[in-house]
Amino acid sequence: MCTVLQLSDLHVEPAGVLAYGQEDTAGKLPVVAGHALELAKDVGADVVVVTGDIACDGNETAYRQVADAFSIFDAAGIPVRFLPGNHDRREPMRRILAGYFGDFWSGDRLDQTVRVGGVRLFLLDTLQPGRHWGAIPETVLERLADELSDPAPAMVFTHHTPLTCGMGVMDEDFGNREAFLKVLAARPDVRLATGHMHRAILQTTGANVVVTAPSAALAIPVGFTASAGDCFRLEPAGWALHQWREGAWNTFLGHFAMEASYAGPFPFAGAVNPED
């Protein structure tokens, strides 16, 4: 059995700075980490995976705040593993959050393998500096295909989702989309869990279940117009819990018990996708 608590899209700003002028993500951070630790202990989580947009603009101060907030997991003996999103920078993440990664696949990117008993988690880095949308390089897909040729149970995590859902501006390109889905399709028992959409979404490809975790901050209202996805509301932080049990992945979705005004919608004005 393997139990994974997934958090996504913390969008942490330096203390005192509101994300997009509205949400106190720095103040929310230790509250979210505290609730996450409580949940992880309650369900016996083996690992916590945070699927990107850790900082709101790649700010080093934000990564230090994240390292400090998640250090409470160290004492509990529960490992935390981070992936980058489009609002992150690889170099400061790797440096400041050292100790919070699995086995890296390369010296520069943040693709990694996390092993929990006989279950393998493949955390794939989809960050393209300066761009909002994601991609997976051919070499990473080749490695993934090779890893998945081993029939042992596995799950794949990314920040960006390769699937579209009709939410206007969030439906974007995904580099190597078809090749990625083809690699996954060879293993229908493998689940893909993503972030980036700031809303819980369950989708299927031809073979695989894809689940997008709700965000810890800046919740995007559901909408199907061309401009849908360009605004957010102030909601409680969400979570996803994935458990490999009796030959299948079960995914549970929920929110932490915390105050929220649900105010909005507010625009993602001045969003930054760091270029380095």
| Binding site residues, Fe ion, CB under 5 A | 9, 53, 85-86, 196
Chain centroid offset of residue 22 CA: 22
The residue among 53 and 230 lying less far from Fe ion, judged by its C-beta, is 53
The residue among 46 and 53 lying less far from Fe ion, judged by its C-beta, is 53
Task: Please report how close the Cβ of residue 195 comes to Fe ion at its closest, in angstroms.
Answer: 7
Task: Please report how close the Cβ of residue 86 comes to Fe ion at its closest, in angstroms.
Answer: 4
Task: Please report how close the Cβ of residue 219 comes to Fe ion at its closest, in angstroms.
Answer: 10
Decide if 249 contacts 5 (C-beta within 8 A). Answer: no
Nearest in space to 124 (alpha carbons), one of 150, 107, 142, 144:
144
Tokens of 246: 């009796």
Type of residue found at 42:
D
The residue among 81 and 143 lying less far from Fe ion, judged by its C-beta, is 81
Type of residue found at 231:
C
Task: Please report how close the Cβ of residue 267 comes to Fe ion at its closest, in angstroms.
Answer: 15
The residue among 3 and 176 lying less far from Fe ion, judged by its C-beta, is 176
The residue among 85 and 236 lying less far from Fe ion, judged by its C-beta, is 85
Task: Please report how close the Cβ of residue 9 comes to Fe ion at its closest, in angstroms.
Answer: 4
Dist. CA 157–CA 155, nearest whole Å: 7
Tokens of 185: 């399709």
Nearest in space to 152 (alpha carbons), one of 183, 195, 122, 127:
122
The residue among 180 and 249 lying less far from Fe ion, judged by its C-beta, is 180
Nearest in space to 48 (alpha carbons), one of 68, 28, 72:
72
Task: Please report how close the Cβ of residue 8 comes to Fe ion at its closest, in angstroms.
Answer: 7
Residue nearest to Fe ion (CB): 53
Decide if 148 contacts 188 (C-beta within 8 A). Answer: no
DSSP letter for 215, please.
Answer: P
Give the dihedral of Cα atoms 147, 149, 150, 155; nearest 10 deg: 60
**DSSP per-residue codes, 151-164:** -S-EEEE-SS-SS-
